[in-house]
Chains A and B, each alone.
Chain A
Amino acid sequence: MVRFKNRYALCEVIVPGQENGSINFTKSKLYRAIKQSIISNHGDYGIGALDQSLRVIYINTGTRIVLIRAERKYFHMVTSAIIFIRKIGLHDVIFKTLHVGGSIRQCFKFLIKYHQKSFPSMYQSCQTEDDKIKVLESIIDACDASTSVKALMDKIS
C-alpha cells in the first residue's frame, strides 16, 4: 500500500491599494475561482486530474491567508493556475505563494514563523501603550511554538 500524497500551498491574497485590509469571500468562492482558472489554463485534463483532491482547507479573512490542497503529482497545475487569478468577486487580487509543504502541520509551522517576523513592524505601528503591551505579550506567547501549532490545528478540526 502506498500512501496518497498531497501538497499544500500557503498563499497570501494581496489586494493592491488596500494595505492591511481584510477580504470578504468564502471558501466556496475561492474554490470556484481556482477551478475556473485551472479549466482555462489546463483544460479538461487538468480539472479531471485535480477534481478529486483539490480543496480549500483554510481561509483567514483577517490576515488574508489561504491554504489549498491538491494531489502531489499534479500540483504544478495548481501553482501555475493561481497565478492567473485576477479577480475574486469584486476584489482585484494577487496571489502570493508563501510556502509549499507536505502536510498541514508543516504549513502552519511556517505560518507562525512568518507572522512572528511581522511583530517588530506591528510594535512600531502601535499608537497606544495598551496595544504595545498586547504585542509584547503575544511575542512572549509566540516563543512557545508547539502549543500554538496545536491551537491552530484545533481551530480547523
Chain B
Amino acid sequence: MALPAYCDFNIKCQTPEKLFDLIEVATELGYESVIVNNNLQSLQGSKEKKKDQKIKITPPSEILLNEKSIASLQSKGKKIQQLSRITAVLQDDSNTHKLGNADLQMYDILAVQPTSSKTFQLACETLEVDIICLDLTETIGFVLKRQLLSLAASRGIHFEIQYGPALTNSTVKRQVISNALNLVAATCQKNILISSGAENPIDLRSPYDVINLGRLFGLNHSQAKDAVCKNCRAVLMHAKSRKTCKSVVLVKNISTLESKKRWLLKAYSDELSNSDEDSLKEGEEEDEPEAKKIKLASKDNK
C-alpha cells in the first residue's frame, strides 16, 4: 500500500453517482487518497423489537470508477486510493463493547464522536479507535482538558476538524473557527487532522488551500501541512496496527489473500517469470514460496 501524499479523511457516504462526482473533483484538486465516511447515529440497538436488537451496519462499499474516468486518470498519471471509515456517535458509555464487532472492524478506519464529557473521557482513555471527531458546528458542552487530550495523543489517537460546514454560512463558520481554535490550543497543535466532510463537490478544497485554512485555525504552516499529510499517514498506520500488534513486516499466506488483491499475485508471477530466466542463467536456486510470501507482504504493508 503506497502511502498517500495528500489525503481527505471525510467524504460523506451517499449514492454512487454523487460519490463519483466527489471523488472525481477530489482527484482533480490533487488528493491521492480519499476516505468514504459512514455515519452511525447510535450504537444502541432498537428497544422495541427484542429479536432484531442487532444494529444494522452496512458493510463498507467500494465505489468502482467507470472506464472513462479511469482513462482520464491514467492520462494524467494520477492514482487514487479509496478507504472506508465509520464514525459512531457515542451517546452514553454503555454499548462501547460493540466497537469490537466484526462488522465494524471490517472498516479500514474507526472513529468515534463523543457527545458528553463522560464519553469523551472514555474515548480518550480506553477505547481502541483511530480518530476522535467532535461536532464543531455546535457548542461543545464540556471542557476539553489538556491532560485527557495529551493522553489520547500519546496513544496515537488524532482529532479531526471538519471545514466543510464552515464554508456554507457565517454563523456556522464562526462556531467552527471558535471551536477549532479551542481544540487546537488544548492539543498543543499536535495530532490534528483537517478534513472536508463534504457532501457536494463544491465543499472540497485543494490541499494547498486547506493548509492556508489551517492558519485560521491557529496552526502554523508546517503544522497545517502535517494535518493533511503526515498525520493522515500516522492514522493509517495506527489503523493497521490496531488489527495486528506492533510490527514491521506482515507475512500473509497467499491462499488468504482477498479477491480484490489478486492482481498482486499476477503482477508478481510476471515479475517472477522474468527473474526466473535470469536466475536460470546464473544457475542459482531460490527458496521460492518463502520469497514469494515475504515480497507480497512487503508490497501489502508499504
Contact = CB atoms under 8 A, between A and B. Distances in A.
B251 interface: no
B77 interface: yes
Given A14-B29, A40-B170, A120-B77, A94 B212 contact: no
Interface in A86-102: 86, 92, 94-98
B255 to A, nearest CB: 40
B202 A97 contact: no
11 contacts: A14-B25, A14-B28, A16-B201, A83-B167, A83-B213, A86-B167, A94-B202, A95-B209, A96-B29, A96-B208, A118-B76
A121 B75 contact: yes
Contacts of B200: 16
Given A16-B25, A84-B167, A121-B75, A92 B212 contact: no
Given A76-B215, A80-B215, A92 B75 contact: no
Nearest to A100: B208
Contacts of A94: 25, 29, 201-202, 204-206
A125 interface: yes
A125 B202 contact: no
A94 B12 CA distance: 19
B201 A83 contact: no
Contacts of A98: 208
A62 interface: no
A84 B202 CA distance: 11
A86 B202 contact: yes
Q: How large is the interface on B (under 10, 10 to 19, 20 to 34, 35 or more residues)?
A: 20 to 34
A97 B75 contact: no
Contact of A79 (B75, B204, B212): B212
Contacts of A125: 75
B121 to A, nearest CB: 34
Contacts of B76: 118, 121
Interface string A97-133: 1100000000000000000001011001100000000
Given A80-B213, A121-B75, A121-B76, A17 B208 contact: no
B21 interface: yes
B209 A92 contact: no
A72 B59 CA distance: 50
Given A17-B21, A120-B75, A97 B206 contact: yes
Nearest to A82: B209
Contacts of B75: 120-121, 124-125
B96 to A, nearest CB: 37
Interface string B16-31: 0000010001001110
A75 B216 CA distance: 13
Contacts of A97: 206, 208-209, 212
A70 to B, nearest CB: 13
B201 A17 contact: yes
A40 B216 CA distance: 14
Given A96-B205, A98-B208, 11 more contacts: A14-B25, A16-B202, A80-B216, A83-B212, A94-B202, A96-B30, A96-B206, A96-B209, A97-B206, A118-B76, A121-B75
A120 B201 CA distance: 26
Interface string A1-40: 0000000000000101101000000000000000000001
Contacts of B206: 94, 96-97
A141 B196 CA distance: 40
Contacts of A76: 212, 215
Best-surrounded residue of A40, A86, A121 (most CB of chain B within 10 A): A121
Nearest to A121: B75
Contacts of A121: 72, 75-76
B161 to A, nearest CB: 14
Among all A-B residue pairs, the 7 with the closest Cβ atoms: A16-B201, A121-B75, A96-B206, A79-B212, A124-B75, A97-B208, A83-B209
Contacts of A40: 170
